Amino acid sequence: MATTTTEATKASPTNGEDKQSQNLRHQEVGHKSLLQSDDLYQYILETSVYPREPESMKELREVTAKHPWNIMTTSADEGQFLNMLIKLVNAKNTMEIGVYTGYSLLATALALPEDGKILAMDVNRENYELGLPIIEKAGVAHKIDFREGPALPVLDQLVADEKNHGTYDFIFVDADKDNYINYHKRLIDLVKVGGVIGYDNTLWNGSVVAPPDAPMRKYVRYYRDFVLELNKALAADPRIEICMLPVGDGITICRRIS
């Protein structure tokens, strides 16, 4: 396709703007983030997500919506994305850190083959038990090995046994953001070469680009520096390829390459 004059004009440095800053800035060629528009997001949900959402996920989403901490749940479009990703990479042995009521867990369990496995960890069993009857009814509870408690000691135990190294096809991390770097140090040994780790909330409510003195909720401010540090560390890690997607609150997909 021929390049239009407008695109060509916008792509070249103009008005004294120095070439380097031009190269680093995103170029405005009509693809500003979709997430700037509530209407477009609603369109995605109504056109592509809700009509294809399994009944069990809808039920779990509705139960979770009544829970006081429902802000923590994975969004329906991200659930659909995770389900697709797991199928695309043919995952069988998986892990999830941060379960809450189990929306992403159910998205994972439904995507796995009958003999697929999920090692699922959360410090809170009560919330998991809210979703469990729905997961059982969906016929996928046998794939889940739920461990109540902090994830880090479990990971340490797994790493201590070399047999576990390189055995996970897919890992979803959606828990305490101040531990993501600690998780990464361990998960990189546990995921297989070619396997995928997804770190959730890497755009952290948009706060990653907010000025330090901008008004922010207390928990957003507290975790912000950890998310910024993680994003830098992932971008600099030669053992992985990465792709940061503006799905949900931002998810960074890491593919282990060495």
One residue of 44, 45, 63, 72 binding ligand SAM per CB under 6 A: 72
User: Using the rule CB under 6 A, is 220 a contact of ligand SAM?
Assistant: no
Listed as own residue / partner, the contacts of 51-59 with beta carbons closer than 8 Å and 24 or more positions apart are 52/80, 53/79, 53/80, 54/110, 54/138, 56/106, 56/110, 56/134, 56/135, 56/137, 56/138, 57/103, 57/106, 57/107, 57/110, 59/134
Which one of 14-22, 31-39, 95-103, 109-117 is the stretch in contact with ligand SAM (CB under 6 A)?
Answer: 95-103
Cα 47 to Cα 32, 42, 104, distances in angstroms:
20, 8, 20
Smaller CB distance to Ca ion: residue 146 or 180?
180
For residue 147, the minimal CB distance to ligand SAM (Å) is 9
Query: Which residues fall within 8 angstroms of residue 244, CB to CB, at 6 or more apart?
Result: 202, 203, 231, 250, 251, 252, 253
Q: Are strands 191-200 and 93-97 parallel, antiparallel or unpaired?
A: unpaired
Contact 160, 186 (CB under 8 A): no
Among 139, 110, 131, 141, which Cα is nearest to 61's? 131
One residue of 53, 57, 74, 180 binding ligand SAM per CB under 6 A: 74
User: Using the rule CB under 6 A, is 176 a contact of ligand SAM?
Assistant: yes
Would you give the binding string for ligand SAM spanning residues 179-218, x where CB under 6 A is met? x---------------------------------------
For residue 200, the minimal CB distance to ligand SAM (Å) is 7
One residue of 123, 216, 242, 245 binding ligand SAM per CB under 6 A: 123
User: Using the rule CB under 6 A, is 121 a contact of ligand SAM?
Assistant: yes
Binding residue count for ligand SAM, defined by CB under 6 A = 21
For residue 79, the minimal CB distance to ligand SAM (Å) is 7
User: Using the rule CB under 5 A, is 122 a contact of Ca ion?
Assistant: no
One residue of 56, 61, 73, 111 binding ligand SAM per CB under 6 A: 73
Q: How many CB atoms are closer than 10 A to CB 42?
A: 10
Among 153, 156, 131, 160, which Cα is nearest to 144's? 131
Interface residues with ligand SAM (CB under 6 A) are 72-74, 97-101, 103-104, 121-124, 127, 150-151, 174-176, 179
Interface residues with Ca ion (CB under 5 A) are 174, 200-201
